[in-house]
Amino acid sequence: MSLFDSRLHNYYLSMWKRGIIDVSKFRTYVKLTTMVEQESCVKLNLRKSQRSCLAQLRCGILPLRIETEMYIVEQREERIGRFCSENSIGDESHFVLDCSFYTELRSEHFEDIISHVKYLQMSNDENFYHVLINFPRKTAEYLVDAIKKRRQVVFGQV
């Protein structure tokens, strides 16, 4: 990329970020794009459902409780997840890393990651981005299974 291209790219990137930074839906995506220069998962050969779930999570539009009840006036801290008894905010990080409703799926997909010493030493936020950035395929597989499990419980779908 030439110097001019790179300046232009950075200029539009910063404008774009400033434009969306206040939109809470994009909270995950903004953090992610600042951390990864190249969106490696775009190149991954994923199934359509996996790619879709991953994209929705990254854009903050995966139908988690925090989004589906967005229009009910409540503080973010009051948006407690419904699928567990942990009294945690039902956000992306809780959904992927903590919610006890998905414990089995998590150990199935992330066992070697979450038992690694590096993971245990990082903060919750760092762990979330570590998993998303470095293990996009595993994350996508987990998301598809987790959404399927939740649908089965909520709608009785198989």
Residues of this chain that interact with Zn ion (CB under 5 A) are 81, 84, 99
Q: Are 92 and 98 in contact (CB under 8 A)?
A: no
Rounded to a whole number of angstroms, the minimum distance from the CB of residue 103 to Zn ion is 10
Question: Least distance (Å) from Zn ion to the CB of residue 60?
Answer: 17
* Complex with Zn ion: residue 84 or 133, whichever CB lies closer: 84
3-state secondary structure of 147: helix
The DSSP code sequence of 73-102 is ---GGG-B-SSSSS--B-SHHIIIII-GGG
Q: Cα torsion at 38, 40, 43, 48 (round to 10°)?
A: -120
Residues 113 and 119: beta-carbon distance below 8 Å: yes
Nearer to Zn ion, 36 or 84 (CB): 84
Nearer residue to Zn ion within complex by CB, 41 or 99: 99
CB 105 within 8 A of CB 142: yes
Select 41 or 92, whichever has its Cβ closest to Zn ion: 92
- Residue 86 CB, shortest distance to Zn ion, in Å, is 5
Q: How far is the CB of 100 from Zn ion (least distance, A)?
A: 6
